[in-house]
Amino acid sequence: MSRYWSDIVSKLRPYVAGEQPRIPGLVKLNTNENPYGPSPAALEAIGQAADDRLRLYPDPAATELRETIAARHGLTADEVFVGNGSDEVLAHAFQALLKHELPLLYPDISYSFYPTYSLLYDIEAIEAPVDDTFQIRLADYDRPCGAIIIPNPNAPTGIGLPLADIEALVATHPDAVVVIDEAYVDFGGDSAIPLISKYPNLLVVQTLSKSRSFAGLRVGFALGQRELIEALVRVKDSFNSYPLDRLAQVAATAAIKDEAWFEACRTKLIASRDGLVRDLEALEFEVLPSQANFVFARHESRSGAALQAALRERGVLVRHFAKPRISDFLRISIGTNEECARLVSALKEILAA
């Protein structure tokens, strides 16, 4: 006899995260981490904050961090929400804002957490397929909907939408919340932040995991006009009033202030990406145009799964999605130039075999 909770458990479809290996020495290009490490000033701030004050609860509103983020983007602190990674910020947005009698729209292909959250929060979702060149077609969003969520640049394709397209989407759906998930925007995409003052239905979500190299800290944030931010705060306060610990708050504040480190790392990374694209194309890979810290590439001669397995045997981790339409692709995070060179030489060996 099945118990009622067996039914609940069997219906949950959690997100499957990329491998975090326990073996040292692998070239880890599978989960879009930044190879250059967090701002030294932020690491120092953690050291200075790690003392007896940790017995006290942190500021539940993360005031200093929100003020710092707001100042950087020309907003006020009540237009900023912070959470434990942008995954948590997105989860709160799904719960607070994306459930509607009309469906939620998002692209197919996009971030695989969206179907997971839709199912978890019982949100009816319609997936709009990207076209043959993996571009998002704006015309597909020209239909009644309760809300829209789009990653820009998209994941895992890396393809960006220009600001004019985002504005058209937000402007033509004034009654729908439009969430733009900008996890990768700092590597060459167009941010929608300048549109916030004009559109009360726009929520922009960003993370410190990628361009700030703080995936291990777990800090993400949402920017939008006050009412949308207030919705997120109310859900957070009903869930966990202390989503960011003391160390995360001080480190993230220092990281956001360290513009020089941010600029230097993202410039190096963009140059490495351009170099890797050239090397992959020289090996006859098809590489989608990327504005992110990863590339999405396929080779006619091998399946994505076979290439991933062969790379793993050679100590190089990349991501493969066993999903129709993209199963022949590899998603390769941009590492240091040395890491990219190790990947390319492993690929040469595999393709010559």
Name which of 75 and 292 has its Cβ closer to ligand PMP: 292
Q: How far is the CB of 220 from ligand PMP (least distance, A)?
A: 4
Name the residues that contact ligand PMP, by CB under 6 A: 85-87, 111, 151, 155, 181, 183, 207, 209, 215, 220
Alpha helices in 258-336 (DSSP H): 259-282, 304-313
- Which residue has tokens 């009654």? 175
Q: How far is the CB of 2 from ligand PMP (least distance, A)?
A: 34
- CA 84 from chain centre, in angstroms, equals 13
Name which of 201 and 209 has its Cβ closer to ligand PMP: 209
For residues 329 and 27, the answer to whether their CB atoms sit within 8 Å is no
> What distance in Å separates the CA atoms of residue 209 and residue 45, rounded to the nearest whole number?
17
Q: How far is the CB of 55 from ligand PMP (least distance, A)?
A: 28
Tokens of 38: 């967090």
- Which residue has tokens 């490490």? 37
Q: How far is the CB of 350 from ligand PMP (least distance, A)?
A: 26
Name which of 244 and 347 has its Cβ closer to ligand PMP: 244
Q: How far is the CB of 283 from ligand PMP (least distance, A)?
A: 26
59 CB-side CA count, 13 A? 12
Q: How far is the CB of 84 from ligand PMP (least distance, A)?
A: 8
Cis peptide before 153 (omega within 30 of 0): yes
- Strand 27-29 and strand 316-318: the pairing is parallel
> What distance in Å separates the CA atoms of residue 80 and residue 205, rounded to the nearest whole number?
10
Q: How far is the CB of 153 from ligand PMP (least distance, A)?
A: 9
Q: Minimal CA–CA distance to 279: which of 319, 334, 211? A: 334
- CA 297 from chain centre, in angstroms, equals 19
Name which of 30 and 272 has its Cβ closer to ligand PMP: 30
Name which of 206 and 272 has its Cβ closer to ligand PMP: 206
Name which of 58 and 107 has its Cβ closer to ligand PMP: 107
Name which of 116 and 207 has its Cβ closer to ligand PMP: 207
> What distance in Å separates the CA atoms of residue 166 and residue 160, rounded to the nearest whole number?
10
- Angle of helix 259-282 relative to helix 337-352, nearest 10 degrees, comes to 20
